[in-house]
Amino acid sequence: MKIYNTLSRKKEEFVPVEPGKVRMYVCGPTVYNLIHIGNARPMIIFDTVRRYFLYKGYDVNYVSNFTDVDDKIIKKAQEEGKTAEEVSSHYIEECKKDMESLNILPATTAPQATKEIDGMIDMIQTLIDKGFAYVAEDGTVYYRTRKFQDYGELSHKNIDELEAGHREIQVTGGEQKEDPLDFVLWKPKKEGEPYWDSPWCKGRPGWHIECSVMSKRYLGDTIDIHAGGEDLVFPHHENEIAQSEAANGCTFAKYWMHNGFLNIKNEQSSKYEKMSKSTGNFFTVRDVLEKYDPQVLRFFMLSVHYRSPLNFSAELMEAVKSGLERIRNAAELLRDKAASAQGDALTEEEKGLVQEAEGFRKKFEEAMDDDFNTADAVSSIFELVKFSNTQAAREGHTKAFYEALLKELEELSDILGIKTEKEEELLDAQVEALIQERQDARKAKNFARADEIRDQLAAQGILLKDTREGVKWTRA
């Protein structure tokens, strides 16, 4: 199995730190709003990577965090008259709902930054003791970037060129810093912000130290794979390496995986542009799920190689929807054939045909072994679909034969997290839960969310009627 390593910029044979085990850390979302489809791409991609490792027989320890202390969360809390904890807790639960709908397996551990503060203080103190960090007069703790000799190796940036060309690493408080490139490990609190006691001041951690500490606690000093979107390569992942390796005295991660950007079609220009919240050029997962089965969005994310840019548009989603229907129709046909056929043992001819079908599994595995090429893996599934449909059109096959083909199709689809059974309508319990959430939103005067839920239900054929006795609902 080969993985493209961002660190070396080439494909490398995967050799785990510990035989038979995979330790994997994936940077999770900052929880101040509903997740958008840009957040969903790494979630789906690396869930699929995890699923393939499990299929290959590895024991996978998969850690993905929630960043629940951040300027954006604080801003949202102030706007809504809530605490930062109330905002982050709400959106963590909403994120989990979206992940479940997208058939993303729960992480082995999903730590929250605010619950790991003690570990962050310990690591920062270690960095100070080793001379890699220093305390400014106001209690801010900075990392001495130039002291880490390999800084820039992941992002392939020359540290001497960073000061002029990359202001994203240059944070406020420059007059206190020994060097403009030094970055924050701990910062003093501001009025109305959440804070924690530390040896240096009352304050909160910088973003980068959070992931270094959570990875160390739940996976160990050296992990197999660290992953995330390519926008995290610099400065976030570069800074994680500097902190972790300086503190722990060993390699932080053997393999670095990054997915490509998501581009949204601009309806005015018909051009694809990088998705951006600042320009309003983005869709939440909920926006998309009002129109499409969650499996369509998941299948869409796997339709191109994870390192390639991915264009999002209604036309492309419709094409993917049709492709998913082909797989589901093939599975449904095999189930119907198996239900009406006789014979629990394969004939000699059928044994040869099953062996031919297993060849598509081999092609699937070859694609996934080559840096998780899901696009080619999907192609092999479509070849299996075509083969299955051809065989199903013939009369006289045994029940065992149809079941064997169905097993091949279901198992390969499951590795990608794709369900071959057609999604039924919303369960009654799900409808009731959404109606309750709408009622709660109205009580909180969050009418935008209440309307959003009504529209979501309407899009799925659920009509609401407000009465004196409460909300009544019917299926259209």
Q: pLDDT tens digit string along 452-461?
A: 888 888 877 7
278 pLDDT above the threshold of 70:
no
Strands 203-205 and 223-229, sheet pairing: unpaired
Partners of residue 296 on adjacent β-strands: none
What value, to the nearest 5°, has the Cα angle with vertex 326 and ends 322 and 331? 145
Banded model confidence at residue 169, pLDDT cuts 50, 70, 90: very low
Average pLDDT rounded to a whole number, residues 95-116: 96
For residue 281, what pLDDT is reported? 74
Banded model confidence at residue 347, pLDDT cuts 50, 70, 90: very high
Partners of residue 475 on adjacent β-strands: 462
CATH superfamily to which 2-259 belongs: HUPs (3.40.50.620)
Query: Could you give phi then psi for residue 206, rounded to 5 degrees?
Result: -75, 160
- The answer to whether 306 touches 374, Cβ cutoff 8 Å, is yes
Banded model confidence at residue 161, pLDDT cuts 50, 70, 90: confident
Question: CA separation (Å) from 83 to 23, 76, 112, 192?
Answer: 34, 9, 16, 9
344 pLDDT above the threshold of 60:
yes
Tell the CATH topology of 265-415.
Isoleucyl-tRNA Synthetase; Domain 1 (1.10.730)
Banded model confidence at residue 231, pLDDT cuts 50, 70, 90: very high
244 pLDDT above the threshold of 50:
yes
**192 vs 307, higher pLDDT:** 307
Q: Which of 123-137, 226-240, 275-289, 420-434 has the lowest mean pLDDT?
A: 420-434
pLDDT tens, residue by residue, 392-451: 999 899 999 999 999 999 999 999 999 998 766 446 667 888 888 898 888 888 888 888
3-state DSSP assignment of residue 368: helix
For residue 451, what pLDDT is reported? 87
| Max CA distance (Å), the chain | 84
**282 vs 117, higher pLDDT:** 117
- Residue ranges per structural domain of the chain: 2-259, 265-415, 428-475
171 pLDDT above the threshold of 80:
no
Within 13 Å and on the Cβ side, how many CA atoms surround 76? 19
- Separation CA 308–CA 297 (nearest Å): 17
